[in-house]
Amino acid sequence: MRQTTIWRRLNASLAILIFLLVLGAGLAWWVEHNRAVARARSDLLNNQAIKVQLSLVQMSDAMKGLLIDPNNDDEKRAFVLAEKSLTAPLRVIQKNFGDYDALANTIGNIREFVSKPLYKFQSDMQVLQTTNSLDAPAQYIKAYPALRQQRDQLLKDFNLAVQRVADSESDDRVASFTGSGVLLIILLVSIWVGTAQSSAVTKPLSQLIEALERMRHGDFTQRLKLERNDEFGMIGDGINRLADDLSVLVGQVQRSGIQVNSTATQIAASAKDQQSTATEIAATTAEIGNTSKEITATSKELVKTMNEVSHVAEETARLAGSAQAAIVSMESMMRHIMEASSSITGKLAILNDKTGNINSVVTTITKVADQTNLLSLNAAIEAEKAGEYGLGFAVVAMEIRRLADQTAVATYDIEKMVKEMQSAVSTGVMGMDKFSEEVRRGVEEIRQVSTQFAQIIRQVQALTPRFQTVNEGMQSQATGAQQISETLTQLSEAAQQTAESLRYSNHAIEQLNEAARRLQSSVTRFKLDEA
């Protein structure tokens, strides 16, 4: 039965039930047919028995008529007809019911009674009627009661035998018992078939339900062992394969949850480091911005001073052309010029130092940008490992990398500007040194000889273009410092945005940690086969 499919099993059960129904219907028809045949035979026997009784009575009456009138042809024909009427039903009864011994014996007794006592009585009465007609009636009356008694006894025995045969023919208890037995067998077989089919369906079905209930509660350690080739066996194999697949899947989820939790912890630590780095970058950028503002102010002051020096030189040239009497005044002005040039030289030295500091800060910013870019690359790799749970952090890592690239580009621009500013400052320092030397010479020449006044005028006039060059350099330096300030402002804003993005990243990482913990808590309730 385990090798038979449910469809075949149901078809077999249906065929058995149909066979039992057909068998029951055939049995009912057979019982009813037997009853009908028994009733027909009983009716036939009763009718023929009545004919036998009537024929015997008619023979007795005809014999009495012949005794009264021996020459009466009607009585003779009545006697012959009664004899024939007796012979026909006896023959029918003998033919159809000859297997009943009691009835056959009774029929034999009747025939013997007709052929011997009755014919002998008739022959004796006819002889007596011929020889002594007057004494014949008296002898008839005397002998007939014994003959009639014998006839009546035969009829009584005949009727009793007929009744027994009729009762036996019409008795359907055997058929009823047989039909009841067969119906009982059919009922028992039907119950057995139904019970077998119910057990064949409910038992594996209950096993399947128990297996599914265990799987619903997270127990994947047990497997079904139906050992069947029917649909239940196929379902059991499917459930076993499903349990195997789910065990593998849950195991992978458990391991992935642990890995995601560990990765999220590492990412959180990295994000905190990046946030600290971004905060330091913002602070450093603010400091560089303040320094850049100081450079801008110093450059503006230098431009203003150079403008004043230029005006002084022009005024000196104009005064030198008027009279030599202004030598004293020019000497005083030259002293002021020397002081101004010394101040300019000192400020240019300060500016050169500041640009060196800016260059160092720019180098630090470049290193921080490279480190931030490396951290964002590592974060992107870890987000790729985390799969769909790291998509949000991958976007943040990409944004950090973009900001780091922008920082690197801006740092390169700042470094380029600082180098240009250093070159300009170096040129200005050299020019101011040369200018100071020329001023000192001029003062010495003014002090030494007045004859060199014309040469001093030429030297002063020659200084005017140089002042213009220095002025232009200072203006370029002021513009560069302004650009540096603006760039540092942008860098500060970018650093703030990076810090804000990292805060969002920390929040996303916390959510990822929470999701990983929930995932780990959800999959720990599953029981897996250690094998």
Q: Tokens for 141, please give them.
A: 């009356």
pLDDT band at residue 180 using 50, 70 and 90 as cut-offs: low
What's the whole-number mean pLDDT along residues 74-89? 73
What's the whole-number mean pLDDT along residues 189-216? 72
What's the whole-number mean pLDDT along residues 406-425? 78
For the ranges 87-101, 163-177, 327-341, the lowest mean pLDDT is seen at 163-177
| pLDDT, greater one: 265 or 233 | 265
pLDDT band at residue 86 using 50, 70 and 90 as cut-offs: confident
- Sign of dihedral through CA atoms 398, 401, 407, 410? negative
**Quick check: 455 pLDDT over 70?**
no
| pLDDT, greater one: 506 or 370 | 370
Place of tokens 């929470």: 514
**Quick check: 31 pLDDT over 70?**
no
* Nearest of 90, 444, 504, 60 to residue 268 by alpha carbon: 504
| 301-307: Cβ within 8 A, 24+ apart | 301/347, 302/344, 302/347, 302/348, 302/351, 302/428, 302/474, 302/477, 302/478, 303/471, 303/474, 303/475, 303/478, 305/340, 305/343, 305/344, 306/344, 306/467, 306/470, 306/471, 306/474, 307/471
Residues constituting the chain: 531
* pLDDT confidence of residue 153: 85
pLDDT band at residue 249 using 50, 70 and 90 as cut-offs: confident
| pLDDT, greater one: 4 or 47 | 47
pLDDT band at residue 108 using 50, 70 and 90 as cut-offs: confident
First to last CA, the chain: 33
- How many Å apart are CA 283 and CA 472, to the nearest integer? 33
CB atoms under 10 Å from CB of 149, counted, come to 10
Residue 527 has phi, psi (to 5 degrees) of -100, 120
pLDDT band at residue 220 using 50, 70 and 90 as cut-offs: low
**Quick check: 172 pLDDT over 60?**
no
| pLDDT, greater one: 500 or 67 | 500
- How many Å apart are CA 448 and CA 442, to the nearest integer? 10
Beta carbons of 169 and 43 less than 8 angstroms apart: no
| pLDDT, greater one: 369 or 525 | 369
pLDDT band at residue 278 using 50, 70 and 90 as cut-offs: low
* pLDDT confidence of residue 519: 67
Which residues are paired to 527 by β-bridges?
Answer: 219
One-letter amino acid for residue 299 of the chain = S
- How many Å apart are CA 423 and CA 460, to the nearest integer? 26
Beta carbons of 165 and 107 less than 8 angstroms apart: no
Beta carbons of 295 and 354 less than 8 angstroms apart: yes
* pLDDT confidence of residue 451: 66
**Quick check: 263 pLDDT over 80?**
no
What's the mean pLDDT when you consider all of the chain? Answer: 72
Among residues of the chain, what percentage have pLDDT more than 90?
0
* pLDDT confidence of residue 82: 72
Q: CA angle at residue 461 from 458 to 467, to 5 degrees?
A: 140
* pLDDT confidence of residue 65: 64
| pLDDT, greater one: 133 or 175 | 133
- How many Å apart are CA 218 and CA 529, to the nearest integer? 11
* pLDDT confidence of residue 264: 66
Helices and strands in the chain: count of H runs, count of E runs: 10, 0
**Quick check: 2 pLDDT over 80?**
no
> What interhelical angle do 119-131 and 6-68 show, nearest 10?
10
* pLDDT confidence of residue 334: 66
* pLDDT confidence of residue 289: 67
- How many Å apart are CA 172 and CA 9, to the nearest integer? 38
- How many Å apart are CA 252 and CA 494, to the nearest integer? 41
DSSP 8-state symbol, 389: G
Look at residue 198 and give its three-state secondary structure: helix
String of DSSP letters for 135-189: THHHHHHHHHHHHHHHHHHHHHHHHHHHHHHHHHHH--HHHHHHHHHHHHHHHHH
Which ranges of 323-390 does DSSP label H, i.e. alpha helix? 327-386
* pLDDT confidence of residue 64: 66
pLDDT band at residue 57 using 50, 70 and 90 as cut-offs: confident
* Nearest of 256, 263, 225 to residue 243 by alpha carbon: 225
pLDDT band at residue 174 using 50, 70 and 90 as cut-offs: low
String of DSSP letters for 442-474: HHHHHHH-STTHHHHHHHHHHHHHHHHHHHHHH
Domains with residue ranges and CATH for the chain:
36-171 (1.20.120), 243-525 (1.10.287.950)
* pLDDT confidence of residue 72: 64
pLDDT band at residue 189 using 50, 70 and 90 as cut-offs: confident
Residue 186 has phi, psi (to 5 degrees) of -60, -45
- How many Å apart are CA 136 and CA 130, to the nearest integer? 9
Which residues are paired to 219 by β-bridges?
Answer: 527
- How many Å apart are CA 36 and CA 9, to the nearest integer? 40
pLDDT band at residue 104 using 50, 70 and 90 as cut-offs: confident
**Quick check: 106 pLDDT over 80?**
yes
Beta carbons of 366 and 335 less than 8 angstroms apart: no
* pLDDT confidence of residue 170: 60
* pLDDT confidence of residue 254: 66
| 333-338: Cβ within 8 A, 24+ apart | 334/439, 334/442, 334/443, 334/446, 335/443, 336/312, 337/309, 337/312, 337/313, 337/439, 338/436, 338/439, 338/440, 338/443
pLDDT in tens, 494-526: 767 776 776 777 777 777 777 767 766 766 655
The segment with the largest mean pLDDT, out of 150-164, 344-358, 370-384, is: 150-164
- How many Å apart are CA 226 and CA 230, to the nearest integer? 10
- How many Å apart are CA 255 and CA 92, to the nearest integer? 102
* pLDDT confidence of residue 436: 72
pLDDT in tens, 458-492: 766 676 676 577 667 667 766 776 777 777 677 77
* pLDDT confidence of residue 325: 64
Tell me how far apart the 2 most distant CA atoms of the chain are, in Å.
234
3-state secondary structure 478-490: HHHHHHHHHHHHH
* pLDDT confidence of residue 518: 73
In Å, how far are 78, 87, 154 from 59, measured between CA atoms?
8, 12, 15
* pLDDT confidence of residue 378: 83
Place of tokens 């005949």: 158
Beta carbons of 216 and 523 less than 8 angstroms apart: no
pLDDT band at residue 304 using 50, 70 and 90 as cut-offs: confident
User: Can you give the pTM of this predicted structure?
Assistant: 0.32
**Quick check: 435 pLDDT over 80?**
no
| pLDDT, greater one: 502 or 380 | 380
pLDDT in tens, 5-23: 666 666 666 677 777 777 7
**Quick check: 205 pLDDT over 60?**
yes
Q: Tokens for 46, please give them.
A: 């009763």
